[in-house]
A = this chain, B = another copy of it.
Amino acid sequence: MAEELRTLVERLKAVSHPLRLRVLSLLELGELCNCQIAETLQVPASSVSEALRELRRAGFVAERKDGRWVFMSLVTRELASPFLKGLLEEAAAVPEVQQDRVRAQAVTALAIPVVCSKVQRDAPTEREATHV
């Protein structure tokens, strides 16, 4: 063990960001692909991709490629981290995060190709949330 100070700070920075924190909390529900997250959070797919890259660099998230989709999930070993465990617990109480989870359930109920085409069409133009 014996984590370096810089490493711990980098991990903290990785989650000190609204989008990245929301993405991290979403992944508590299980693995999701980039487009499912983009659709759930109503943000550009490139922003989600960048958020996931940072979360991966910090060691919180792992990827599993399946065809043209990349499924991201929490690294289970990380869930032993007292800090991450506490953070996820605290984040789960945040209203925005809870709303995201409701949206995610609607999104994951659909087949992935349906969701992703939807992202292609909607994200750049429509920015008003479909309620919730």
A contact residues vs B (CB 8 Å cutoff): 1-6, 8-9, 12-13, 15-18, 21-22, 81-87, 89-91, 93-97, 131
Number of copies: 2
Select which of B18, B85, B86 is within 8 A of A6 by beta carbon. Answer: B18
Contacts of A5 in B (CB 8 A): 18, 21-22, 94-97
Min CB–CB distance A39 → chain B (angstroms)? 19
Q: Which 7 A-B pairs have the closest CB atoms?
A: A86-B86, A82-B86, A12-B16, A83-B86, A5-B96, A13-B16, A82-B89
Cβ B83 vs Cβ A87 within 8 A: yes
Tell me, in angstroms, the Cα distance from A5 to B92 when the chains sit together: 10
